[in-house]
Amino acid sequence: MARLSDAFIDDLLARTDIVEIVGSRVQLKRKGREYAAPCPFHDERTPSFYVSPTKQFYHCFGCGAHGTAISFLMNYDRLEFLDAVEELARRAGIEVPRETRQNNQDSDLRDQYAALEAAAKLFQRQLADSARARDYLDGRGVDAGNRARFAIGYAADGFSTLKDALGTDERRLKLLDRTGMLSKNDRGHVYDKFRDRVMFPIHDRRGRVIAFGGRVLSAPADGKDAGPKYLNSPETALFHKGRELYGLWQARQANQKLERLIVVEGYMDVVALFQHGVTQAVATLGTATTPDHAELLFRNAPDVYFCFDGDAAGRRAAWRAVESALPRMKDGRQAFFLFLPEGEDPDSIVRKEGAAGFDARLAQATPLSQFFFEELGRDINHATLDGRARLAERARPLLAQLPDGAFADLMRQELQRRTGVDTARPASPAPRPPARGGAPAQRRSLVRSAIALLLQQPALSLQIERPYRFAGLRLPGMPLLLELLEAVVQRPGISTGALLERFAEHEQADALRRLAAQVLPGDEAGWAHELHDAVAQLERQTLQQRIDELQQKQRAQGLDETDKYEMRMLLQALAGRG
Ligand SMILES: [Zn+2]
């Protein structure tokens, strides 16, 4: 990740209004000093998602999502850090400064995107020129609209069509190689990787081409070895197949809000479903469902349907999806499994039965909970005590991965119903975080309250006299408090959100965010008063700490004249502060 200076990030956030950024994507309602909405990151009816214009910070009291305008864009638009920064900078009309090295790296990536885009365009032109390839798509019922939507193309049959067209000099040739478009034989000869294939560009979350999938066009009867039926780009700097879903870009473009995503196996399945009006289909790219996939799926839609073949391989693949999904099954998220009849795929089904028929099958899909227990208890005799104990043993570590919530409770109850083993209580009950508003249940340390006040209103720091007389106090959190004070002194107008961004990689970052999210009672004058009190107490404790040290020395080795003088001054000062 590029290192942008703190000053730049501060400046960027100072010129950005988080309410505007969030408000253009989520409908916000004014609520006191803040804005509220049902959380875009988890499913809920009563709003627990708050955006604070004064703190320039959002926080969800339901799922704990939080952050600045930058992190909101990263999570909501699924942007990388730099892309989110660039987006905000563009809105604010400022330039993103970059170190030269980073600049070179970036321009190399830009060139790679451009090379892939040029390849996609070339393949589209070649499709227009190839009656065979067009016939294939006609035969599959893919109309012009969907050919354009998915930018489907054709890689001509030849070893250097792409290489000759786009690899016109050494630099471009290297670029094509880095994007995975070329292959090399044993003798070092370089040639087109994709030949005589229908080409499906794979787009990233911003609609940029990052890789290709190619489906072989020649029938094996042609007598030549056409290679694997489906061929994907290799992993490159731009393409990590475990993190990408084919069709997600198109699904997001086609739906204002995705209520569901349907995970299928192949590009043609995705395209065929779109062709029949099912515009929420995506495909993994020749891999099992990874945890990254599961995260990406649920970030985009609350309900996820996994389609698999009904055979043993399909069930194994489904189980991999279960394992990836379990830790992400927050309340409001649902996963279903649809097992297809032998010889069918989503493409064939939707062509035979239409969208309604496919939807009807989805409505009958197996919920994750049911599939989980069926699969886990497959070779177990539930009639015996041993069998039930074995089921409980297998289920427990998996259920432990579920996030706390109603779904986890129900799964544990279901296990208990099936086995008679009480697993309702997790091994170590996690303490619940205190409720909103901060009940006085847990008494805060002084340092913690000072930090909480500063996060509420960073400018209060400026009222504390420097140098800080409490700086030498050995208390947990003191170094952090001093760092925070220093950050505000350096940048007096800094908002809470920008301050948190500065401490984003601090080991206490989570604690800071939780404190910042609290809405402290009272107003600015009240907080200033509280902060002065806290500082005064810290100063007293500092005096006391030094007195204790001197008393220890007195007992151990006695005090010299300077020590005695210091002690008198300390006692006087302490008395004066009564
Ligand atoms: Zn939430």
pLDDT, residue 432, reads 40
pLDDT, residue 422, reads 67
The CA 402 to ligand 1 mean position distance, Å, reads 17
List, as ranges, residues with CB under 5 A of the ion ligand 1. Answer: 39, 41-42, 60, 62-63, 65
- Rounded Cα–Cα distance for residues 307 and 298 (Å): 16
Q: Are 371 and 318 contacting, i.e. CB atoms less than 8 angstroms apart? A: yes
Quote the tokens at residue 187: 């003798």
H-only helix segments in 255-405: 267-275, 291-300, 312-325, 346-363, 368-376, 385-399
pLDDT, residue 99, reads 60
The CA 59 to ligand 1 mean position distance, Å, reads 8
The CA 51 to ligand 1 mean position distance, Å, reads 12
The CA 290 to ligand 1 mean position distance, Å, reads 23
The CA 328 to ligand 1 mean position distance, Å, reads 13
The CA 25 to ligand 1 mean position distance, Å, reads 15
pLDDT, residue 440, reads 36
Q: Are 246 and 282 contacting, i.e. CB atoms less than 8 angstroms apart? A: yes
Tell the CATH topology of 107-239. DNA primase DNAg catalytic core, N-terminal domain (3.90.980)
Q: Which amino acid, residue 488?
A: V
Was domain 243-375 assigned CATH 3.90.1530.10?
Answer: no
The CA 430 to ligand 1 mean position distance, Å, reads 19
Going by DSSP bridges, is the β-strand pair 260-264/303-309 parallel, antiparallel, or unpaired?
parallel
The CA 50 to ligand 1 mean position distance, Å, reads 9
> Does residue 440 have a cis bond before it (omega within 30 degrees)?
no
The CA 283 to ligand 1 mean position distance, Å, reads 27
For 55-96, write each residue's pLDDT tens digit: 899 998 888 888 999 999 988 887 788 888 988 998 888 888
The CA 98 to ligand 1 mean position distance, Å, reads 34
The CA 62 to ligand 1 mean position distance, Å, reads 5
The CA 44 to ligand 1 mean position distance, Å, reads 8
- Rounded Cα–Cα distance for residues 441 and 330 (Å): 27
pLDDT, residue 264, reads 95
Nearest Cα to Cα of residue 61 among 437, 329, 401, 330: 437
How many Å is the Cα radius of gyration of the chain? 30
CATH of span 6-104:
3.90.580.10
Nearest Cα to Cα of residue 50 among 422, 516, 531: 516
pLDDT, residue 283, reads 96
The CA 48 to ligand 1 mean position distance, Å, reads 7
The CA 500 to ligand 1 mean position distance, Å, reads 19
- Rounded Cα–Cα distance for residues 500 and 496 (Å): 6
The beta strands (E) that lie in 10-105 are given as 29-31, 34-37, 49-52, 57-60, 66-67
The CA 60 to ligand 1 mean position distance, Å, reads 5
The CA 64 to ligand 1 mean position distance, Å, reads 6
Residues composing the chain: 578
Q: For the chain, report the end-to-end CA distance as a whole number of angstroms.
A: 52
List per-residue pLDDT tens for the chain, 578 residues long: 456 788 888 889 988 999 999 998 899 999 888 999 999 888 888 899 999 998 899 998 888 888 999 999 988 887 788 888 988 998 888 888 866 446 666 678 889 999 999 999 999 999 999 999 999 999 999 999 999 999 999 999 989 999 999 988 988 999 999 999 999 888 888 999 999 999 999 998 778 999 999 999 876 555 566 678 889 999 998 998 888 999 999 998 898 788 999 999 889 999 999 999 999 999 998 788 998 899 889 988 999 999 998 888 889 999 999 999 998 898 889 999 999 998 899 999 999 999 999 999 999 999 999 999 999 988 888 888 888 888 998 998 899 888 888 898 899 999 998 888 765 544 444 434 433 433 333 346 888 889 999 998 899 998 898 888 898 888 888 889 999 999 998 888 888 999 998 888 888 888 888 888 887 888 888 889 899 989 998 998 999 999 999 999 888 888 888 889 889 888 888 887 75
The CA 56 to ligand 1 mean position distance, Å, reads 17
Give every CB contact of residue 563 below 8 A, 6+ residues apart in sequence: 550, 553, 554
Dihedral (C-alpha) 73, 77, 81, 82: value to the nearest 10 degrees? Answer: -100
How many degrees, rounded to 5, is the angle at CA 330 between CA 38 and CA 497? 50
Class of domain 377-419: mainly alpha
The CA 22 to ligand 1 mean position distance, Å, reads 14
Tell the CATH topology of 446-576. DNAb Helicase; Chain A (1.10.860)
pLDDT, residue 439, reads 35
Q: How many CB atoms lie within 10 A of CB 523?
A: 10
The CA 331 to ligand 1 mean position distance, Å, reads 10
The CA 61 to ligand 1 mean position distance, Å, reads 6
Q: Which amino acid, residue 250?
A: Q
The CA 39 to ligand 1 mean position distance, Å, reads 4
pLDDT, residue 331, reads 82
The CA 110 to ligand 1 mean position distance, Å, reads 34
Please report, for the chain, the start and end positions of each structural domain, with discontinuous segments joined by +: 6-104, 107-239, 243-375, 377-419, 446-576
pLDDT, residue 38, reads 92
Quote the tokens at residue 512: 């800071």
pLDDT, residue 436, reads 40
Q: Which residues pair with 307 in a beta bridge?
A: 338
The CA 446 to ligand 1 mean position distance, Å, reads 30
For 113-135, write each residue's pLDDT tens digit: 999 999 999 999 999 999 999 99
The CA 425 to ligand 1 mean position distance, Å, reads 25
How many degrees, rounded to 5, is the angle at CA 347 between CA 343 and CA 352? 80
Q: Name the DSSP class of 459.
A: G
CA atoms within 13 A on the CB side of 17: 6
- Rounded Cα–Cα distance for residues 396 and 444 (Å): 36
- Rounded Cα–Cα distance for residues 487 and 481 (Å): 10
Q: Are 41 and 73 contacting, i.e. CB atoms less than 8 angstroms apart? A: no
Nearest Cα to Cα of residue 73 among 495, 497, 484: 497
The CA 15 to ligand 1 mean position distance, Å, reads 26
